Amino acid sequence: MMWWLCIRFPSLMLDSLSLRESTEATAVIERQVVLQANTTAIEQGIQPGHSMATALSLYPELHAVERQTKREKELLEHVAVWAYRFSPQVSIDTELSVIFLEIRGSLKLFRGFNRLFSYLSQGIKKRNLQFYCGLSHNPVASYLISYSDKEPGYYRQSPTKLDNNKIQQQLKSSPVTLLPCSKNVKKNLKSMGLNHISAVFLLPSTSLGKRFGRDFFELIAYLKNEKKEHRPLFFPPEYFHSSCYFTHGLNNKQQLDPYITQLLTELKNHLRLRQLINRQLNWQLNYIDGGSESMLLDTSLHVFQQQSLFDITLLKLEQLKLRANIESLSLSCKRFEKSENHNDNLFQQQDNTFLTGGDSKNEQYSIVMDKLLSRLQSQHCIQLSAHNDLLPEKAWRATQYTDVNTSDPLDRNATPPRPLWLLSKPAVIQQHQQQLYWQGYLQLLQGPERIDNQWWQQRHARDYYIALHSNGSIYWIFKDQIKRQWFVHGLFS
Amino acid sequence: MKLVLPDYAELHCISNFTFLRGASHPEELVTQAAALDYQAVTISDECSFAGVVRAHMAAKACNIKLIIGSEFSLSENIRLLLLATDKKAYSQISSLISKARLRSPKGKYDISLKDFQREPAHYLTIWLVDDTLADEQKTNQNIANQLKSVFQKSLWMGINLSRKSHQQQRYMQCYAIAKQYQIPMTACGNVHMHMAGRKPLQDVVTAIRLNTNIQKLGNKLQVNAELYLHSKKQLASLYPPDLLAETLQIAARCQFTLDSLNYCYPDEIVPPNTTATKFLRELTEDGARKRWPDHVPETVTTLIEKELKLIHEMEYEQYFLTVYDIVQFARNQKILCQGRGSAANSAVCYCLFITEVDPARSQLLFERFISKERDEPPDIDVDFEHERREEVMQYIYRKYGRERAALAATVITYKPRSAVRDVGKALGLDQALVEKLAKSLSWWKKPQQLDELLNKAQVKQRSISAQLFLQLVDEILRFPRHLSQHVGGFIICREPISTLVPLENAAMENRTVIQWDKTDLESLGLMKIDVLALGMLSAIRKSLGYISNFEKNRIGGFRLDDIPPEDKATYDMLCKADTIGVFQIESRAQMSMLPRLRPRTFYDLVIQIAIIRPGPIQGGMVHPFLRRRQGLESITYANTRLESVLGRTLGVPIFQEQVIQLAMVAAGFSGGEADQLRRAMASWGHNGHLDLFRDKLVNGMLDRGYSIDFADRLFSQLRGFGAYGFPESHSASFALLAYASSWIKCNHPGAFYCGLLNSQPMGFYAPSQLVQDAQRHGVEILPVCINHSQWDHHLTTTHTLQLGFRLLKGMHRKSAEKIVTARNSGIFTSMSNFIQRTHINRHEQNCLVRSDAFQCFNSHRYQSQWQISAVEESRPLFNIENDTVLDDHILLAAPKETEEIQWDYSYTGLTLRRHPMTLLRENPLLRSCTRATDLATIDHGRIVHVAGLVTCRQRPGTATGVLFITLEDETGYCNTIVWKNQQQHYNQEIINGRILSIKGKLQRTDNISGLDPQQQTPVVHIVAGFIKDISHLIPLETSSHDFH
């Protein structure tokens, strides 16, 4: 018989936003209804189910935060990945906010339930999460038992056997409202006076099935231990990891070359199987003295090019100074993308290219960018992207280089023509004998174009003109209507 | 040398009636244009005339020429501006707007160039090229060519120079096309706001319209604040002189004014070969003979003559005849109706059976209704049964056609809460914070508190200052948001309405509204008829029907007119405040006044209805009136003139018209000033006009020797009366229904409750309270049953009421009718028999089971639910060939009494079993509780303990923050008062509690001195000292009438 441990997180909504222990009265809301409230809010009389209007009548200072289901799911998955070390059979139920672990097979490894449970609960406590546990032969029963006021250990008869009587007793006393079934079914049960599971257990399964459907029939069968419950298992996300170990240690970088090639080849095979392309290479050099060094390389290639990746790795390695002998080299990859579905060429010209499609010009650009990035670091590579703003200096902005286009979609008609060269900071224009002077005299040719905006932050009111410089250049200048001062802002030619 | 400023007429302004585009009121635009000395200004809202009447009134006030126009965005991506030159042009534009609006859902329009080709244009057309000029010169030439062929010589090109980029190049492009196609060019301001300072609000409304926030608007924001009314000096620097001069040429051709609209009544209501005057006289005289079969009193004949003369002078005959026709229709269809409001001041209306207030029995002021000096159209409001009003509306549509009859609009404007919500969202504030700000507006007058709230919120919100937020909220207040339909104000014309005012679709299917609201219609002197809905009329009509059923001998059935006047037993009942369910005098406040005022005549009832209003309460008039009525205070008047005004209300002003008359008599207001005062009173709360009269009123009274105290009281009465006071005629109309419903309750309680319950939802009380009250009045109530109930509740004897299926939550009328039809061929013999014969869906079967409607089969609701659930919904007949399918020999335990009560409340909203409080009496927590009926025997000042279901939580505006909680127990109701500090202390209990236990001091008012104690009905309140929420003892889904 299996032992399923249910870990239920009753405050997952608050915990995922780190708000449960906030001293401020806080509630998680969805569609203006309170779903969870922290202790401070509960003390003010706020309860789940209250409308925002009622909650604010009770406590006008209430801090209300919108529910974030994605964060909740991430948190559950994060815990599940960690919990994987306790059991290979892990299952997640985001609706119930629970994680199920089959622990019967792990009892020997952890030398008994108590040690296992102690590790597990300590680990969750460290994460500062509120949780309750239940133990039974199947997940749904363990879920209901998690509502009992007894520790899970109470439901064991011996180190290897669960106490079925205690479990059944607890299940029978559970209210039907706790059952993981539809609201309609629960309402129907209540309207038959079936308030506790004990009353449901007394009824013939066929009669129940006829009235409440197959799912409910199965649910009762699980609870009665008449049927084995199969839940979809959770598997940690797949990522690539491989290492090469050097028994005597390597003491110079050149010695690493064949191993780098080997690991890249393994990665290539891994990617080919999964039709993926990597977005990152995480190299780790482990020294004999126990220390280690990491090199994280972002890549922007749209096809896997082993030689390029090899070159980039060497470039990066050049900057590294070895501290001691290297014991192992590992390569891991966590960031992937679906690769473009190109077929292999029938007559491949290069061994190290398994995908040869794509625009070669773009690829060359990507290779250059990757090389620049590895040499200069990404924070030193910037690109210009368009930004939807009426202020000229904000209409374009420099952003850290990425291969994804971050520009705002622009309405070409709404974007007026602007000078090619905009000064990073407008330069003050002097006035000589009532004439505008900036490294020479300026003569207004056309304008004004008035821009008056950003009143909610700092108002900018400017009249822009096109002006002819005495050197023959065409400048874009403006008069700041607030400071009453002239500035040069750009150059047309 | 002095610069000669050019003359200018602004041809293109959109106001805030181009919803969420324009950022100024029409009045602001007009006033500002006058201040800038423009020759004329145009209001040209987008496919709308909604703002033109306001602009027209403002233009008259500041003496500037108003041009009426409208802007259109065509499906061909062309923007046109049409200007009305004369009445024909105005009608054409109005029709075009109607056409474009009626073919689209509410708030949208759809128009294309071919719509302009149907008939020769009388209006002038301006092609607005600023934003829509295409990059391709060929496209522009194409458009110019098309427009020129459609509009020929009445086409201009509107140029807006608002300092946008590359303006010169665009101008040259326009110039080339204009020259090529010989289209004259003119300046057009594309004005969106009256002053540049409105730019922030303009951006905010854009963000609201596009459902985003200003930070995300980017290029969708106006690049600068130039779309405002510029000074002539600025205009001279912006536009070439020829373009400015052309505006004057165009303005000179636009001679239309709204004053020239002559509204014509429909003429089909006058039979051939007679005149409206003659016909109205005939009907009135005929009606008078019916009203007074023995002899029409002399005073009435004089009144009628006076009224008919004035009606003829003002040419209002058709209006009266139209209303008469509608009322006649209703009467023929046996739809109960009654006129109210100022129309009840008219003897003619009484003779036409429009109103029911007998002029021989009251002192009515016809001038309050129609006055030659005021020169305002009369306003007749008629209430119809709320369930049958639609029939009356459909009759109007049928008779006059949808082209000639339409509902007036109601302009929905920004109120503080909606303003906070929308501005907050537009400024990008966090949604939860915005909700919090909207929920409690306590920060309104304390910007510092708002600052703290904003600072506490997320970082991005720190950039929005409290001052800016407040300024924007304040500016957007009263801005129109959209048009909705008026509750029942009809406008009916001889000509198609769309030639007078544009029509558009309402949100409700098959409903059209005009683009003007009540105020606009009044301003232009157009008449409207209010076809209103009143629930009590439905209830009374139904009750009268039940009485008729049991009085078979009465020919023609029992009618409203058959109710005998001044019935002693009815007044006795009212004196005891036994008025649950009675029209107008059933609220807690009215009920606590009844034993003090002790109405004994119809006129007492008129006063009773008018006195419990914020006007008299805020003016401190209630207690003086009671003292005088009880003989505790002498009735004195400062002079005989005051006596004439206040005599009928014992020297205390209670009615709206008395306050106006007082202003004239005591403060020396002229007739005209008094009329202005009346208007200001009516609009108080919307603007501060009333305060302008304060000094004049107070000083006028002081000069005439009245005390400052009296003057101040009168002014605060004026304030209260503004929005909430009743004129005497209105109160009299309501008193008639209050008396009728009281009489029915007193003499035919079964019929009364049945009528009332069948007209729900209406009134102050939920069915549960009405049913309990019925039981206390000896009416036996039978539960809902599949073998006896119908959709409506019905009487099986005069004192036995069978509850109907309409009570069940989730049950539909059609299904109930299916059950009744199936039952016609024999009662149901079992559950399977019921399922086989009715085929109603699972959801409704559950409704019936859970409300215990199957108890006739001796099956409790749990067992019934078990049985009915065995039937598969997809193949019900397959499963129930015999009863054994439903009965698998499983017997479920029967519900306990508390469970039964819980289910009763959940599915029917009431229980006929023991009251929940009866069950709780055994609980040790409630052993010391006093029952509601026993409170009357306890002395004033004693500490008592009461408990009950919360049926009402009220915090009236007139009671300075005091909260009233009404508790219901098995014997009746108990009113408790919770002072402010206790409210804070017991906030959770007050808000969450469905059943409360309250300890406090008993306050008892024994009303009339010298009256036999047996006849006294003391008014008892408990002042709460300790409140405990005991809802957990029996969790019930009860309803409470909260915080109204």
Render pLDDT for B568-615 as a digit per residue (tens, 0 to 9): 999 999 999 999 999 999 988 898 889 888 999 999 999 999 888 776
List the single range of A174-183, B150-159, B626-635 with lowest mean pLDDT: B626-635
- When pLDDT is cut at 50, 70 and 90, the band that residue B552 belongs to is confident
B485 pLDDT above the threshold of 70: yes
Mean pLDDT of B466-472: 84
| Nearest chain B Cα distance for residue A104, angstroms | 39
Averaged confidence pLDDT in chain B: 87
Task: Using a CB–CB cutoff of 8 Å, tell me whether B171 touches chain A.
Answer: no
Instruction: Please report, as a single letter, which amino acid is at residue B433.
Output: L
Mean pLDDT of B183-199: 96
Phi, psi of A485 (to 5 degrees): -135, 145
Total number of residues shown for chain B: 1044
- When pLDDT is cut at 50, 70 and 90, the band that residue B25 belongs to is very high
- When pLDDT is cut at 50, 70 and 90, the band that residue B468 belongs to is confident
How much is the pLDDT for A416?
A: 63
Task: Using a CB–CB cutoff of 8 Å, tell me whether B985 touches chain A.
Answer: no
How many Å apart are CA A199 and CA A192, to the nearest integer? 10
B479 pLDDT above the threshold of 80: yes
B865 chain-A contacts, CB cut-off 8 A: 188, 191-192
Q: Which residues contact B880 (CB under 8 A, 6 or more apart)?
A: B832, B835, B836, B871, B886
- Alpha helix segments (H runs only) across B403-517: 416-426, 431-439, 447-456, 466-476
B163/A56 Cβ within 8 A: no
Mean pLDDT of B110-133: 88
pTM: 0.78
How many Å apart are CA B7 and CA B40, to the nearest integer? 10
Q: Where are the beta strands (DSSP E) in B18-123?
A: 40-43, 65-73, 79-83
B866/A453 Cβ within 8 A: no
Chain B, residues 61-120, CB within 8 A of chain A, namely none
Instruction: Please give the distance of CA B441 from its chain centroid, rounded to a whole number.
Output: 23
Task: Using a CB–CB cutoff of 8 Å, tell me whether B221 touches chain A.
Answer: yes
B431/A193 Cβ within 8 A: no
In contact, A207 and A298? CB cutoff 8 Å: no
Mean pLDDT of B536-550: 94
A68 pLDDT above the threshold of 90: no
List the single range of A176-180, A295-299, B781-785, B959-963 with lowest mean pLDDT: B959-963
How much is the pLDDT for B374?
A: 67
Which of A56, A211, A389 is nearest residue B439 as measured by Cβ atoms? A56
B166/A56 Cβ within 8 A: no
> Which two structure tokens, joined as six digits, stand for B109?
């329009």
How much is the pLDDT for A348?
A: 43
- When pLDDT is cut at 50, 70 and 90, the band that residue B134 belongs to is low
Instruction: Please give the distance of CA A232 from its chain centroid, rounded to a whole number.
Output: 22
Of residues A465 and A372, more confidence is placed in A465
Mean pLDDT of B245-265: 92
B866 pLDDT above the threshold of 80: yes
Mean pLDDT of B697-703: 88
How many Å apart are CA A260 and CA A275, to the nearest integer? 22
Mean pLDDT of B212-233: 91
B899/A192 Cβ within 8 A: no
How much is the pLDDT for B995?
A: 94
Q: What percent of chain B clears pLDDT 70, i.e. is strictly above it?
A: 91
Preceding peptide of B271 cis, ω within 30°: no
- When pLDDT is cut at 50, 70 and 90, the band that residue A354 belongs to is very low
């390695």: which residue's tokens?
A317
B427 chain-A contacts, CB cut-off 8 A: 456
List the single range of A477-491, B56-70, B543-557 with lowest mean pLDDT: B543-557
ipTM: 0.72
How many Å apart are CA B596 and CA B577, to the nearest integer? 10
How much is the pLDDT for A275?
A: 76
Q: Which residues contact A404 (CB under 8 A, 6 or more apart)?
A: none
Mean pLDDT of B791-803: 96
How many Å apart are CA A219 and CA A205, to the nearest integer? 10
B224 chain-A contacts, CB cut-off 8 A: 450-453, 461
Mean pLDDT of B884-900: 81
In contact, A173 and A196? CB cutoff 8 Å: yes
A417 pLDDT above the threshold of 80: no
Of residues A42 and B669, more confidence is placed in A42
In contact, A445 and A454? CB cutoff 8 Å: no
B449 pLDDT above the threshold of 80: no
B432 chain-A contacts, CB cut-off 8 A: 29, 52, 63-66
How many Å apart are CA B768 and CA B760, to the nearest integer? 12
> Which two structure tokens, joined as six digits, stand for B105?
């859902």
How much is the pLDDT for B922?
A: 85
Task: Using a CB–CB cutoff of 8 Å, tell me whether B988 touches chain A.
Answer: yes
Q: Catalogue the long-range contacts made by B326-333 (C-beta closer than 8 Å, 24 or more residues apart).
A: B326/B382, B326/B392, B326/B395, B326/B396, B326/B529, B326/B531, B327/B352, B327/B353, B327/B354, B327/B382, B328/B353, B329/B392, B329/B395, B330/B384, B330/B392, B333/B388, B333/B391
Averaged confidence pLDDT in chain A: 84
How much is the pLDDT for A347?
A: 43
- pLDDT tens per residue across span B913-943: 999 999 998 888 888 899 999 998 898 889 9
Task: Using a CB–CB cutoff of 8 Å, tell me whether B869 touches chain A.
Answer: yes
Mean pLDDT of B855-865: 91
B1035 chain-A contacts, CB cut-off 8 A: none
A57 chain-B contacts, CB cut-off 8 A: 439, 987, 991
- pLDDT tens per residue across span A193-214: 999 999 999 999 888 988 898 9
- pLDDT tens per residue across span B367-393: 667 767 666 778 788 999 999 999 999
Which of A63, A193, A450 is nearest residue B226 as measured by Cβ atoms? A450
Mean pLDDT of B687-694: 69
How much is the pLDDT for B30?
A: 97
B456 pLDDT above the threshold of 90: no
How much is the pLDDT for A345?
A: 45
How much is the pLDDT for A351?
A: 41
B347 pLDDT above the threshold of 80: yes
- pLDDT tens per residue across span A447-484: 889 999 888 888 899 999 999 999 999 999 999 999 99
How much is the pLDDT for A355?
A: 40
Nearest to B424 by CA among B207, B677, B692, B669: B207
Task: Using a CB–CB cutoff of 8 Å, tell me whether B981 touches chain A.
Answer: no
How much is the pLDDT for A344?
A: 47
- When pLDDT is cut at 50, 70 and 90, the band that residue B243 belongs to is very high
Which of A52, A54, A212 is nearest residue B435 as measured by Cβ atoms? A52
